[in-house]
Amino acid sequence: MRPSRYLLLIVSLYLALCGSAFAQRQGSSSSHSSTHSSRKSSAAKTVHVRSYTKKDGTVVKSYDRRPPGSKESGSDAEVRSSTSTAALRDSNGRIKRSAAAKEAFERQTGYPHGRPGYVVDHIKPLVCGGSDDPSNMQWQTVAEAKAKDKTERIGCK
């Protein structure tokens, strides 16, 4: 009779272990799905863009951005709203530049303190209605910037 008790003990232990493993799997799958959904929401906040080369030969380094159609909030929205008005002028008649937009562009391109021998230039000039935000900025040598400044008003449409 002793062997049947041992067999009964082994079977009961086996069922207890299988039952707890089953409960853990069910509990972990539900917690995993909640973790997964929270990961999804945090992953939707930014999209990674790989580095690429533009048609004009300039190389754009990889960066993170908000996905298209997402609502903006916080400092990004403030920078965009303050920089999207290209017609604001100071008392001398010059177009107001946003220091925050320039700093954001410098950080985004990997030169947070400027780039020696280069200036920040607007791809579409502010005079022609270009926006003063990082998406409209590029690094340009001082000589190229001077040459472009002489002729850029001619091309405004």
Percent of all residues in the chain with a pLDDT value above 90, rounded to a whole number: 20
Nearest alpha-carbon partner for 81 in 59, 96, 101, 110: 101
- The answer to whether residue 134 scores a pLDDT higher than 70 is yes
Query: Mean pLDDT of all residues in the chain?
Result: 74
- The answer to whether residue 77 scores a pLDDT higher than 50 is no
Between these two residues, 75 and 143, which has the higher pLDDT value? 143
Beta strands in the chain (DSSP E): 47-49, 52-53, 59-60, 63-65, 118-122, 137-141
Residue 126, pLDDT score: 83
Q: What is the pTM of this model?
A: 0.43
**Distance between the two ends of the chain, CA-based, in angstroms?**
101
Q: What are the C-alpha distances in Å from 123 to residues 94, 136, 146?
A: 18, 5, 14
114-132 pLDDT per residue, tens? 999 999 999 888 888 888 8
Q: Residue 26's pLDDT band (boundaries 50, 70, 90)?
A: low
- The answer to whether residue 36 scores a pLDDT higher than 50 is no
Q: Residue 21's pLDDT band (boundaries 50, 70, 90)?
A: low
What mean pLDDT comes out for the span 23-45? 48
- The answer to whether residue 24 scores a pLDDT higher than 80 is no
Q: Residue 12's pLDDT band (boundaries 50, 70, 90)?
A: confident
